[in-house]
Structure 1
Amino acid sequence: MPLPSAETARIAATNAQLLQLQAVSGTPAQRSPRQRETVAEARRELRNLTDAFLREHAERLYDEVTDGRTSYLRLDMVCERVATLVPGLTPTREQVEAEQRRAPDDKEGLDIDQSILLSHFLRSATSGPHLLEAMRRPTERALHLLPQFEQTGVVTLDSVRVECHNGAAHLTMQREDCLNAEDDEQVRDMETAVDLALLASQVRVGVIRGGVMTHSKYAGRRVFSSGINLKSLHAGRISLVGFLLGREMGYIAKMIHGLTGERDWAWDGVVAQKPWLAAVDSFAIGGGAQLMLACDRVIAERDAYFSLPAAQEGIIPGAGNLRLGRVTGGRLSRQVILAGRRVAASEPEGGLLFDKIVAPEEMDEAIKAEVALLDSPAVFANRRMLNLADEPQESLRRYLAEFAIEQARRLYSEDVLNKVTRFSAGAGRS
């Protein structure tokens, strides 16, 4: 059944009117208060039309852009095809790329428009699981690099180095200048690295650790991760599709639930899953803490700590809200997420987050021992069943459907935009 032409025409016409208003009033930063309100009202009208259209036709639209769910498209390609099929329903690739180059207070808020679309797709029990599966397929980049990795055991990306030793793929995050703070580039590199570890036949266990830093405060020390790159966030260079959603549905989901492929539903089909070990030096903050929660075992040096300061930053810590309470219980998770509590490896509650705590000089030997512990066929099977029990795909899908909207709205909320000026004027974590 074709999409209703009258509704799509109305969306296209409303979008054309909005674009005309934007063209005559300049960028958001150039507009007068009256012009801002006029443009905002026009955008609200378009979003209301979009939301109403998707409530009725999201599944039909998704089937149209994925050829009846026979094509497995990543988030950016889904958005691009929708923008072509129904002009105005979501921004075009060119609009998104132009928006990415603007400061946060000079953006139109196109992330919100994308979030409305993707949230509706994820809410659907038909399109949502298909989209999750599409995002867990190996990337073309990883498939291209796989022969090299299988032959040499080493692949060096800009922000991650992957080395295979004795059946373990060691993923070393190496953004030395910014304490392994994540941005869109590092997310792409991490997904490639995770894909390689899951695809390579000689790899049985994945290990994630931070490299040695050149940052002045931690020069010569290893750091796991300082979370999202605040300089990039406050410069407007953190994307909803590539980072905030793509990270959760891409390499994090692949670590927990494995890669998907053509034979997943056969009785003897094997989803590429492997156990993961996090080796935490110094700290796991924000996105680093979220990454830690995706691992099966965690070891830490005795002075390390765990922190999820997203509420202080004004945003939502990915799927940390979904996973932290499962690990620590509801009360402690609220203390961490809502009140900014740090949990040191050395305190009693640290035992809920870290499986083993060692002296810094003992980390290398502890990693070898943990790899040996995880390198067992029974571990492979049981960790899969544990993850299915802890985080059913249905739960993840429902969470991400709401997360898409809430996180996009947070990016353009007044309190987050106010932080931009303060961050730009002073020092901040990078």
Structure 2
Amino acid sequence: MSEEVMTEVEDGVLIVTINRPEAKNAMSKAAAEGIAAAMDRLDSEDDLRVGILTGAGGTFCSGMDLKGFLRGESPSVEGRGFGGVVQKPPEKPLIAAVEGYALAGGLELMIACDLVVANENAKFGIPETKRGLVAAAGGVMMLPDQIPERIAMELALTGDFIDAARAYELGLINRVTSGAALDGAKELAATIAANGPLAVRVSKQVLKQSRGWPMEERYKRQTDLIAPVFVSEDAREGAAAFAEKRKPNWKGK
């Protein structure tokens, strides 16, 4: 894995850190490849339940590395898109832990995550129009799915930033911390990791996919996805653990 991305595992949580603090964690080709490799690992290793994506040195990600852009470098990975995750997020939950700035591609990286924990001093925006560019890594497409369209339009056309309080008010982020965002993200990840892994994965799948399902097919399609969960070993274990007043021993099957 690239030195521009660091990974560590804590209690079933894979922590992925963009490690380019000298460049405000601007996204490079190497960093994108490192994140893509980490996402593959998250989904392939059964012991990993949740991922956290964060940045070193007090900044989440300041966007595309413009120096690399001028050299003709694309900070994308085939099949996964910008940052190695925007077009194909992992099947397991991914939490963004945001310190400092999540701007341009950094915001697009953030909104590709399932949940967001941010420090109260964090700033968010898609300022591409200020540079004669367009937020093409999902910003102008995905942001209106997550906040009101008129607000997304304002952010896209003005390029202005919003703070953590406003982002929380809009529902763009889940939690605001006065301390380290990573600590808050770990707390949230631990709560998720304690739940049945099959149930968590399929719940995410239904939440993500069902918005595009025809209304008359929704329950049929949901049943197709969740039926295996209800007959799994984990479902029986969850019921038994509840009855016996003990912690479940999940097997992920």
TM-score (norm 2): 0.75
The answer to whether residue 39 in structure 2 is matched with residue 194 in structure 1 is yes
Is it true that 1:227 corresponds to 2:48 in the alignment? no
1:164 maps to 9
366 and 246 in structure 1: CA distance in 2 versus 1, 3 angstrom threshold: closer
Which residue is 2:87 aligned to?
A: 253
Paired position in structure 1 for 2:52? 207
Structure 2 counterpart of 1:192, one-letter code: A
2:202 corresponds to which of 381, 396, 400: 381
Given residue 237 of structure 1, which amino acid in structure 2 is its aligned partner?
A: G
Counterpart-to-counterpart distance in 1, 2:78 and 2:46: 30
* CA displacement, residues 338-360 of structure 1 (integer Å, 9 cap, x when unaligned): 11121110237644211100112
Unmatched runs of 5 consecutive residues or more in structure 1? 1-155, 213-221, 259-272, 393-430
Match status 1:319 vs 2:138: yes
Counterpart of 1:389 in structure 2: which amino acid?
S
User: Compared with structure 1, are the counterparts of its residues 239 and 246 closer, same or farther at alpha carbon in structure 2 (3 Å cutoff)?
Assistant: farther
The aligned residue for residue 71 of structure 2 is: 236
Give the partner amino acid of 2:126.
L
Contact 1:324 1:333 in 2 (8 A): yes
2:162 match: 343
Q: Which residue of 2 aligns with 1:395?
A: none
* Cross-structure match for 2:92: 274
C-alpha displacement of 1:389: 2.7
Separation in 2, partners of 1:391, 1:278 = 24
Contact 2:54/2:182 (8 A) holds in 1: no
**Matching residue of 1:356:** 175
Aligned AA for 1:341? D
State the one-letter code of the partner of 1:289.
Answer: L
Equivalent position amino acid for 1:193 in 2: A
* 1:307 pairs with 2:141: no
1:358-413, CA deviations, whole angstroms, 9 ceiling, x for partnerless residues?
1124x344222200232233332211111113468xxxxxxxxxxxxxxxxxxxxx
Indicate the SS of the match to 2:47: coil
Contact 2:80/2:86 (<8 A) preserved: no
Q: Distance in 1 between matches of 2:59 and 2:83?
A: 25
* Deviations, residues 229-249 of structure 1 (Å, cap 9, x unaligned): 11222x232339x56986249
- State the secondary structure of the residue aligned to 2:95: strand
Relative to structure 1, is the Cα distance of residues 304 and 325 closer, same or farther in structure 2, using a 3 angstrom cutoff?
same
Long gaps (5+) in structure 2: 214-253
Q: Which amino acid aligns with 1:312?
A: K
* Counterpart contact for 1:183–1:243, Cα < 8 Å: no
Alpha carbons of 1:245 and 1:350: their partners in 2 closer, same or farther (altered >3 Å)? farther
What amino acid sits opposite 1:247 in the alignment?
Answer: G
Letter in 2 for 1:298: V
1:245 to 1:196, Cα distance in 2 relative to 1, 3 A? closer
Does the 8 Å contact 2:80/2:88 carry over to 1? no
Q: Relative to total residues, which structure has the larger helix share, 1 or 2? A: 1
Name the amino acid aligned to 1:197: L
Count of equivalent residues: 209
How large is the Cα RMSD of the aligned pairs? 2.3
What is the CA-CA distance between 1:312 and the residue it aligns to? Answer: 1.7
Q: How does 1:21-420 map to 2 (within 5 A)?
A: 157-212=2-57, 222-233=58-69, 235-239=70-74, 242=76, 247-248=81-82, 251-255=85-89, 258=90, 273-317=91-135, 318-347=137-166, 350-361=169-180, 363-375=181-193, 376-377=195-196, 378-390=199-211
Cα contact 2:7–2:16 (8 A) shared by 1: yes
- Name the structure where strand makes up a greater proportion of residues: 2
> 1:201 is aligned with what amino acid?
D
Q: Which segment drifts farther, 300-309 or 314-323?
A: 314-323
Native 8 Å contact 2:62 2:101 kept in 1: yes
CA distance in 1, matches of 2:84, 2:99: 25
1:157-205 C-alpha deviation (Å, 9 max, x unpaired): 3210111110100001101210110122221121112111221221110
